[in-house]
Structure 1
Amino acid sequence: MSPGVEHRPSPVRAAGGPKGAWLTLLDKGADVLQPAAPLKAFDVYVAGLHCGRDDPAMQMEAHHYAKVVNGDLLQCVIFDGNTADANLIGIEYIVSGELFDGLPEEEKGYWHPHNYEVLSGQLSAPGLPQAVETSLMRQLLNSYGKTWHTWHTGTHAAPGHDLPLGGANLMWSFNRDGEADEGLRTDFESSLGLDSAAKRETRAQLRSAARPQRGVDLLEDAFTGTTPVPGVQDAG
């Protein structure tokens, strides 16, 4: 764990017994003899919240470890925590607004917008200096993510399954204040030492560059008592 980043363990313990001697030997051999080049570039840590596109009540933390492929594409592996025992729960591909605009129309429905996550302060890069984090968020402004979760381990208040069950779930972003469960949000922020209100104030400088995005209003009817955030607007 990097200095200055609070530990956030997984909400569940995976089913199964201890590793045993043969797995300990395997781990040691793999560390010395086998390359792990594809994994080394997944070195950008971003934490946020996700909900199910078809089941918005299914909400959870998402700890992304991202590889910056180029200025328009990121690849992320997603865990339910940021410690060594965290479970791999999904993947996310992130594209710039320009790449999104070039997608086939039928494909665009799989991709969720990111402007609320950025401008609300909900998305963070724990451990990065504020100026660096704000620069990263500027790059993520107007971007879209395609996210599949394969394991619902729940939240720290209500753990989910101890094994990945069922099919993959297409995930979505929150797009208004009040959509994320308040207990989930406050537990997430307090555990990582985050101040989304302060981040929101800092990122207000990004609003002028925010463009209307597809999918902002997709789940509007699934929530009540929500409040829009300046700069977050549906393109439709």
Structure 2
Amino acid sequence: MINFRKLQYSALGVSMLTLVGCTGMGEARSNVEAPGESVGAKARLLEAGASAMQTDEPPSRLEIYLVGFHPLKQEPVHQFEAHHFCDQVNEDFLQCALYDGNSGDAKLNGIEYIISEELFERLPEEEKQYWHPHNGEILSGQLVAPNLPQAAEHELMKSKINSYGKTWHTWDTAQTNSAEASLPLGEPSLAWSFNRDGEANPGLIEERDEDMNIDTAERRRARQDLVPLAKPQSGVDALHGEFPRPTSPIPGVEAKP
């Protein structure tokens, strides 16, 4: 799923053949089933023709796969497991399509743009309120790149330290008990990031780890060498005090004055 040349992993001085110890991978299925008739033979034929004759260049560039979590900024206890399929446009800009899983039935439920600290600092102050910090997701071990060799995943996370994301969820696929979840209804919702331990709903991270054979605690331990690279970020305290549970600081995650 990842283009190592694009991310300049050649700087590691090792080839994919010599990288061992992957980060875990498992199937994550969609929570919802959209209403409608099953796809018929005619539609399948048209789809096959389109696949053979039309371009798929934009989605074919979604080569980086990340899995993390998003609380909604206006309703922080409403939280998503977010599967990101991303295109590294350049060294400072990543664009991602968000799904509620990684299987064939996954539903497209949002978008995220990820920019470097340098690009964030150029934004107008009014615009910055829409961009969440990423150091908490990375240093906590919550954001992972499934099935990558550990050295490659580590380099990827290092490249995203001090970055920011702007995320809109367009489909509330987390509401599995709501009839309204079967279609993408209503306005899009601005999502945020976890920046303190205890902000994630009980079981959210643990369920992801069990389903996908991921060890968040181990990822966190492996990234402690990234802590000195982390700078104070805007938005770290945007949701502080908005959760019904005690929370505690993540070492290395600091709010920008």
Smaller-chain TM-score bracket? over 0.9
Q: How many Å separate the matches in 1 of 2:183 and 2:46? A: 23
Q: How many Å separate the matches in 2 of 1:18 and 1:207? A: 50
CA shift, 1:138, in A, is 0.4
Task: Find the residue that maps to 1:29 and give its secondary structure.
Answer: helix
Match of 1:10 among 30, 51, 68: 30
Match of 2:97 among 61, 77, 88: 77
Q: How many Å separate the matches in 1 of 2:218 and 2:184? A: 36
Task: Find the residue that maps to 1:208 and give its secondary structure.
Answer: helix
CA shift, 1:5, in A, is 2.6
CA shift, 1:150, in A, is 0.3
Within a 5 Å distance, the mapping from 1:186-197 to structure 2 comes to 186-197=206-217
The answer for the alignment partner of 1:235 in structure 2 is: 256
Q: How many Å separate the matches in 1 of 2:192 and 2:47? A: 35
Unpaired runs of 5+ in structure 2? 3-21
Q: How many Å separate the matches in 2 of 1:7 and 1:81? A: 8
Shifted more, 96-105 versus 179-188: the winner is 179-188
The answer for the alignment partner of 1:163 in structure 2 is: 183
Question: TM-score, normalized by length of structure 1?
Answer: 0.96
CA shift, 1:160, in A, is 6.8
The answer for the alignment partner of 1:102 in structure 2 is: 122
Q: How many Å separate the matches in 2 of 1:192 and 1:160? A: 27
Query: 4+ residue stretches of structure 1 with deviation over 4 A?
Result: 1-4, 155-160
Unpaired runs of 5+ in structure 1? none
Amino acid corresponding to residue 235 of structure 1 in structure 2? K
Shifted more, 21-30 versus 196-205: the winner is 21-30
Within a 5 Å distance, the mapping from 1:1-236 to structure 2 comes to 5-154=25-174, 161-223=181-243, 224-236=245-257
Task: Find the residue that maps to 1:118 and give its secondary structure.
Answer: helix
Question: Number of residues paired by the alignment?
Answer: 236
Q: How many Å separate the matches in 1 of 2:111 and 2:179? A: 20
Question: Structure 1 residues 124 and 158, CA, compared in 2 at 3 Å: closer, same or farther?
Answer: farther
Tell me the C-alpha RMSD between the 2 structures: 1.9
Contact 2:175 2:181 survives alignment (8 Å): no
TM-superposition CA deviations, 1:141-186 (whole Å, max 9, x none): 1000000000011167989701001000000001111101122221
Question: Structure 1 residues 11 and 117, CA, compared in 2 at 3 Å: closer, same or farther?
Answer: same
